[in-house]
Structures are given as C-alpha cells and as structure tokens.
Structure 1
Amino acid sequence: MSTHAPRPSYAAVLRVPHARRTFAAALVGRLSYGTVSLALMLSLTRSTGSYAVAGTVLAIFGATGVFLSPYRAALVDRHGPRRALLPMALLYAALLCALAAVCREPGTPAAVLAATAAFAGACTPPLGPTMRAVWAELLPGRAMLQLAYSLDGVAEELLFVSGPLLVGVVIGVAPPTVGIVLSAVLVAVGTLAFVTSPAAAVLRPAERAKDDSAPSGRGGAGQGRALLQPVAVAAGVGISVSAVDLLVVAFAGQRGLGGATVAWVLAALSAGSAVGGLLNGAIAWSSSARARLPFLAAGLGVCLVAAGLASGVGTLVVAVACAGLFVAPALTTAYLIADESAAPGFRIRAGAWCNTAVNAGSAAGAAAVGLLVERLPLPVCFAVSGAVAAAAALVPGRRRGRSLVWPGLLSRRPNRSRPSRSRPSRRSPSRRSPSRASGRP
C-alpha cells in the first residue's frame, strides 16, 4: 500500500470552499484590465484625431497605474480588502466613466484628458496580487499553491487575449466609449463580488507595528534583497515578451506578410504560455522555486535568440511557441518566491512589486525595441531581447532569512488566523501572489 498522498489537481484547488466563487469574481474584475486599454485608445483617437495625443494619454494612464501599484497594495495590506480594495475599485470605475464622458466630447483639451486618465490609473485596484494573497491563505500546502498560481496565471493570460476581442464586439454596435464604461462595470461588479466572498475575509488587516517593524531581517533591506531575484526576472520577462510583439511585426513586414501572420505568431506565444503554465503547476518539482527561476528565465532567453534565426514563418511560430512555454512558469514562480519572502503585512505589496516589474518592463521593452529595430538587423534584436531575460537569470536568489524558511515540505500550512511573532517559519515553503505581462493590476 502506497504511503504517498496523491498529487493534488487543479480540480482539487477549485473544490476548496468558496474558491470558485472568489476566483470567478476576481476574474470578472480583472477582465476590465484586458478591455480598457483598447477601448481607451480607440476613444481617445476618435475624440482628439491625433495618435500622438492618444498615445501620450494612454501612457500616462498606464504609468500611474504601474508605478503607484505598490502603494495601493500597501493600503490593502494595511486595511484589508473591504476597507481599501472596494472603495478603490469604485473610485476607479467612477473615474473611467468620467474619462468616457470627456472622450465623447470632441475638442476636449488634451490636458483634461491626461489629468482624468492619470487619476483613473492611480486608483487601479490590485485585484491580481490580492487574489494571489487569498490563494496563499486559503490553500493548505505548497503543491496546491503552485497549482493555484499556475491556474491564476493561465486565466489571466486568457483575459488579456479575450478582452480586446470583447471590445471588438462592442465597438461593432456602439461607440468605443461604451467599452470604457464596460470596463468600469466589470471592475466594480467583480470587486464587489470578490470582497463579499467569505474567502476574502481570510485577508485580515495588518497591524501597523508588525507591518513597519523589521526585527530579525523581516523588512527593510532584508525584504528588498529577498525580492530582488523575482522582481528582476519579472522585469526581464516583461521586457522580452513586449519586444516580441514589435519584432514579429517587423519580421512580417520585411517578408511582405500580412497582419494575419502576426496574429498567428503572437497566438502561438500565448498558447505556449498557457500550456507551460498548466504543465508547471502539474509537475511535482523536487527543486525549490528559487533554484528553478533562473532556468526558466534562461530558457526564455535561449528560445528568443533561436527565434531570431528563423528562416520562415513556420520556424518562427515554433520558436515563439517554445519561448511561450517559459513565460507563465517564470512569472508564476516569481510570484511564489515573492510570497514566501514576504513578511507579515507585506504580502500583497510583495506580489504588487512583481506586477509593477512586469508592467514597467513591458513598457520599457516596447520603447527600446522600437529604437533598435530601425538600427540593427532583426536577428540581433531578437538576440538582445533574449539576452535581457538571460541576464535576469543571473540575479542571485537570496532568502530573507532562515527564520522564514521551512525545513521541508509540510503537508499543511500553519493556521494564520492569528499571526504571531513566535512562528517566523510559517511561510517559507510557499509562495503567494497578477497580470498577463501586459500590465496586471
């Protein structure tokens, strides 16, 4: 008779009480992030008649959303989802509606559009990091947490594919500003359902004293060093993946291929990421997350270098799909490390820093490759994008301290309903913590 417990499954994760309801609610809210960018770009273009103004306003919206993410996450850590996340989401939804209203008026000054977009982006609720924090509290062991994060990452990938498609359907029958309003409704309804779920109640507001103290390496520089590896890899993945989008367009342009070719190649990237994410969650890894992360980042880099050597569309599709196999696993593993490294009162922020790194890297990668592709041969551009991911793999992994490292894989996670300073080992083996590499608040 076998003494080994059966390997948990994705179905087992969703059978945990209240997990399906909470996860579904979070996905409804996060679908807003997949719809808002395209709807906003189309609305701004129609309102201003200028791609330059539309792009600038959209960049401001994204910048305030990305760089203020850790501060918004800190509010949720400190006050809990109901007191911080819900007001934030409702304010964000209201500002999106205001943005839709000003976009409906032709000739609205660019400064008004930019200010409204900046305020809206600043209020973007961190649904992704909060959902991952709920997974970490809700599930009993590291194996199930790995499955949950992989499922979360794949679902998010699908949201950022289906979101623009949904906007395309909407603008077929209504003005693009309706897409902005739809985004507002999605985030308000999804967040309300999320915070009222019994599972969200496991995230208790952190005591300020515990949040701000740094005994035994719990915060400050120790916390930052522990997060350096996952944040660096998340940024590297964001840079590399965003570069692929433009590089594929350039590849098709050089060979006189149409937009359908670009769509198929990028679909292969997303499909590879989804498959890789599911496989990553299902495998019972014997190595630690910190040991696996450099290999995942390096694998992405090698595949992108190979993509630059592709002689035709077929080989490019294969190379890009292989690169996708490493994307979701790398991000999922980074979130796992961030969670296991986080001190009490810092969990959502730890995941938000990885989100910020992905999104900032995505923006930087798009800008950088736009400059390089006009100056360097395409294979060299692919090699540079791969080298960024490979360089991130060289960042050393460092734990926050022995007190936070579990000596082995435990069959159950300790009860966290009453956090105590006397149990510093409570979170090492697991992980915790959001969005397709395109920005995932």
Structure 2
Amino acid sequence: MDPTDTDAHPIARGATAHADERLRTRAHTAAPAQRSASPASAGLLAHTGWVYWPLAFIARLPFAMMTVGVLMLVVSATHSVALGGATSAAVGIGVVIAGPVIGDLVDRHGQRLVLVPVGLANGILLALFPLIATEDRPAGVLLAAALAIGLTAPQASAMSRSRLLAIIGARVAPDRRARTTSRMMSYESAADETAFVIGPVLVGVFAALIAPWAPIAIAAALSLGFVTAFALHPTARTSPSGVDAIGTRAPIRDVLSTRILVLVGAASSVGLFFGTTLTSLTAFAQERGAEEQAGLLYGLLGVGSAVLALAVGLLPARFALRRRWIAFALVLTASAIGYATATTLSDVAVWLLVMGLGVGPTLVTLFSLAGERAPLGRTATTLTLLGSALTLAQALSSAFTGWIAQEFSTRAALTLPAMAAALALAFGVVNLVIERRARRTAV
C-alpha cells in the first residue's frame, strides 16, 4: 500500500466537526516556516520523506518482539509456561502504567524529548534481560525486569499515528485531510499487523537458528538504534505540542468519555485474543515437542490480518466502521471456535490464517475511530491508551492462559481465544448502541 495515496477510498467517512476543528487548530499552530516549506497541495510523502516510512516500521519491531520473546525465553530457561506467561504479563503491566503517561508527556512536550530517553532505557533493559533469565534467578527478579521493560516501551506505532495526524493537520490542504487521514490510518494499522507478523517470526527464527536469548538481544539493538532514530527524525518537530501554547488542549477527563472507553474495551478484547492465542499455541506446540515453532505459527495469524488490513481501504463507503467492527468480529469469533477444535499443528495453522482475516480489519476500525474521537490535543494520549490496553490484556491473558494450560489442560486453553473474540463482538454491539443514541440526541 502506498501511504501517500490521498485519493484512495476513506476508511472513516463522516468525521465529526470536532475532528475538523482539531485539524484546523493544528494547522494554525504549525510553525510558519514549516508551512511555507511544505505546500498544502503536496502529498503526505512530500512532508515526511521516504526514509520516514521504513524507519517508523522498524521502530515498531522491538515492541512486537518483546512479549513473544520474553515468553519464549522464560519458557525455554525455566520449562514453565505459567512463569513465562506471568513474565509476559509483567511486561504488559509496565506498558499500561507508563503508556498513558508517555502519551501525555508527548502531547505536552513533543516526541523528541520523551522518546529518546525512553528508547535508550528500553534498549538497555532488553539487553540485560537474557542475562537475568538464563542465570537461574528467582521468579521475582524475572518479573521485576520484565516490568521495567514494559515501563520503558516506546510504542512507536501510536507515536507514528499521532505524528502523522499532526502533519496532516498542519500541512495538508483542508479538502484533502479527511482522505489522507483515512488512508494513513489504514496504512498504519496494516503496518502494525505486518510488524506483529514479522516480530513473532523473527523471534522463532532467531531462537531456532541461534539461541532463545537471541530475539531479545536483537530487539535491544533495534530499540537502541531505530527507536532513537525515529525520535530524532525531522517529522517529530510537527508533534502537536503547540496546542498547549494557545490553551486549548482538552482536559484529560475528555479522554475517559464513553465513546473512547468503548474503544479501549475493544482494544483490550483484541489483546485478550492475542494473549490467549499465543500462550495456548505455545502449550499446544510444547505438548507435541515443537516448542520452537510457536513463534513461527503465531506469525501465521498476522499474515491474513495484515493482508486484509491493507484491503480495508477498498471496502465501500456504505460499509460503515460500526458495521465493519461487528462483521469482522463475527469472523474472528467463528474462526476462533474452529481453532479450539484443532487437533494437529496443520489444523492450527489453517485456523490461525483464517483468524487473521477477522482481527486485522477490527484493529483498523478501532484505531480509525480513535483518531476521529481523540479530544483536541490528546491524540497521543488516546492512541497510547488503546495500545496500552491491548498490550496489558495480551500480557495478563498470557499469564492466565499459561495457568489454565498447566493446571487444567491445553484443550481448555485453546477455548479462550473464542471467548476473547466474543467479547470484542459484544463491545462492537455496545458501540453501535452508543452511536445510535448520539445520532438521536443530535436530532
């Protein structure tokens, strides 16, 4: 997908007047020199440069690799799926604690001042984790180290969305903003899905070819190098911190509105789905003596997810976001039920591919709606809140699923993704009710 194609079909039609006001405010707060150097008639690529796109993509990989990498390293070192899931959960707890704080700091001070120290700290902590995990440390030490990794997770995907929204609002012509924003959101979600494909695959490949500690060490190098480079890229100057200067940044309580919290709940459901799928798959592969294949198999989930996320922009406008949410959550639920009945690795592989067809478009929908509904000056906060909710739910469900697999059975663990998918569907129904009430109130 070409992220600069501004004439493609929009993902989210009917952006609210509040969103338009937010974009206009960003345009007025942009530096005059920046606006004159980048004509509003130019496409998004003219304002970012080619280097930005691969840089922003690679900066996502440490985040995509750390949960799977921590889980597989701890399971390999301790032979305990339960402890591996708990350690992965500690990463998620750190993310959810620090994520909104990092987002708020970025909204206040810009991305450079925040992301540079965060990326460096995360890289150092990732580099130290294999030394801790392979030295027969107490479980408490492992959990504390994993928590620290989560606390410093840079969440480059949320930062990229926030940064590009600021660029669109400040430098793209008003009549092109809606389409450019929609196309950008579709690309960003597809990039996330692709990263979630490549991340687990890299974990599996490096663990199989080198050692279980290798994926975490490589994630550390990527965090130190590419997250720092992403933070220092010239586009970071366009972060919407100028909103604070005119005193119009929305209060934090606006981020906790019902219209946003339903998205947070749905993102948590998707995180539950990812976590239960990853850990149940790990337990399933371990039973069959193919533990090292879990990361590769998990990558199959992202194949269908990324492909369909890229295709979302081709869907007709009348297929509204609220209906897409429900439709694809239904696909996810049905395929997760099939996954629960699988008895061989080949069966699991097929169902993972089908499950991806549901989860990818669901994520596109959630982040597109989040971009529309984010309060003025709170874009980074809103997006990191969704990302943190997803990661926390993924980590906690990994721990719970590991306990279920160890204390009960792998078959019981395999049923949990279907429950998570059904919860995402339920939140989609709640969102539909909220939107209908809002329309009736507006009339």
Question: What TM-score bracket applies, with the shorter chain setting the length?
Answer: 0.7 to 0.9
Give the deviation of 1:67 after TM superposition: 3.4
Structure ranking higher in helix proportion: 2
C-alpha change, 1:89 and 1:300, in structure 2 (3 Å) is same
Matched, 1:25 2:55: yes
Give the deviation of 1:355 after TM superposition: 1.1
Q: Please tell me whether the aligned partners of residues 276 and 327 of structure 1 are also in contact (alpha carbons under 8 angstroms).
A: no
Q: What is the aligned partner in structure 2 of residue 220 from structure 1?
A: 253
Structure 2 residue ranges without an equivalent (≥5) = 1-5, 11-41, 169-175, 439-443
Matched, 1:162 2:205: no
SS of aligned partner of 2:431: coil
C-alpha distance in 1, partners of 2:296/2:9? 34
Query: Deviation string for 1:218-251 (max 9, x for gaps)?
Result: x525742120222222222222343344556777
TM-score, length-scaled by structure 1: 0.72
Give the deviation of 1:168 after TM superposition: 5.1
Q: What is the aligned partner in structure 2 of residue 384 from structure 1?
A: 419
Q: Please tell me whether the aligned partners of residues 85 and 401 of structure 2 are also in contact (alpha carbons under 8 angstroms).
A: no
Q: What is the aligned partner in structure 1 of residue 112 from structure 2?
A: 82
Q: What is the aligned partner in structure 1 of residue 123 from structure 2?
A: 93
Q: What is the aligned partner in structure 2 of residue 62 from structure 1?
A: 92
C-alpha distance in 1, partners of 2:404/2:87? 24
Q: What is the aligned partner in structure 1 of residue 248 from structure 2?
A: 210
Q: What is the aligned partner in structure 2 of residue 236 from structure 1?
A: 269
Give the deviation of 1:210 after TM superposition: 3.4
Q: Please tell me whether the aligned partners of residues 304 and 353 of structure 2 are also in contact (alpha carbons under 8 angstroms).
A: yes
Matches within 5 A, 1:352-367: 352-367=384-399
Query: Deviation string for 1:376-411 (max 9, x for gaps)?
Result: 878965653442232222223547x99xxxxxxxxx
C-alpha distance in 2, partners of 1:238/1:196? 30
Aligned length: 393
Matches within 5 A, 1:289-438: 289-308=321-340, 320-369=352-401, 374=408, 383-397=418-432, 398=434
C-alpha distance in 1, partners of 2:207/2:297? 25
SS of aligned partner of 1:237: helix
C-alpha change, 1:241 and 1:314, in structure 2 (3 Å) is same
C-alpha distance in 1, partners of 2:216/2:404? 33
C-alpha distance in 2, partners of 1:189/1:257? 36
C-alpha distance in 2, partners of 1:172/1:265? 13
Q: Please tell me whether the aligned partners of residues 189 and 367 of structure 2 are also in contact (alpha carbons under 8 angstroms).
A: no
C-alpha change, 1:138 and 1:167, in structure 2 (3 Å) is same
Structure 2 residue corresponding to 1:187, chosen from 223, 229, 237: 223
- The letter of the residue matching 1:396 is N
In percent, how many aligned pairs have the same letter? 24
C-alpha distance in 2, partners of 1:96/1:309? 36
Q: Please tell me whether the aligned partners of residues 99 and 385 of structure 2 are also in contact (alpha carbons under 8 angstroms).
A: yes
Structure 1 residue corresponding to 2:160, chosen from 111, 131, 137: 131
C-alpha change, 1:276 and 1:83, in structure 2 (3 Å) is same
SS of aligned partner of 1:185: helix
Q: Please tell me whether the aligned partners of residues 92 and 124 of structure 1 are also in contact (alpha carbons under 8 angstroms).
A: yes
- The letter of the residue matching 1:134 is R
Matched, 1:145 2:146: no
Give the deviation of 1:354 after TM superposition: 1.4
SS of aligned partner of 1:394: helix
SS of aligned partner of 1:210: coil
Q: What is the aligned partner in structure 2 of residue 412 from structure 1?
A: none
C-alpha distance in 2, partners of 1:273/1:248? 17
Give the deviation of 1:51 after TM superposition: 6.6
C-alpha change, 1:380 and 1:221, in structure 2 (3 Å) is same
Q: Please tell me whether the aligned partners of residues 100 and 177 of structure 1 are also in contact (alpha carbons under 8 angstroms).
A: yes
Give the deviation of 1:154 after TM superposition: 2.6
Q: Please tell me whether the aligned partners of residues 45 and 51 of structure 1 are also in contact (alpha carbons under 8 angstroms).
A: yes
Matched, 1:73 2:99: no
C-alpha change, 1:345 and 1:177, in structure 2 (3 Å) is same
Give the deviation of 1:78 after TM superposition: 1.2
Q: Please tell me whether the aligned partners of residues 239 and 365 of structure 1 are also in contact (alpha carbons under 8 angstroms).
A: yes
C-alpha change, 1:188 and 1:210, in structure 2 (3 Å) is farther
Q: What is the aligned partner in structure 1 of residue 235 from structure 2?
A: 199
Give the deviation of 1:76 after TM superposition: 1.1
Structure 1 residue ranges without an equivalent (≥5) = 214-218, 403-441
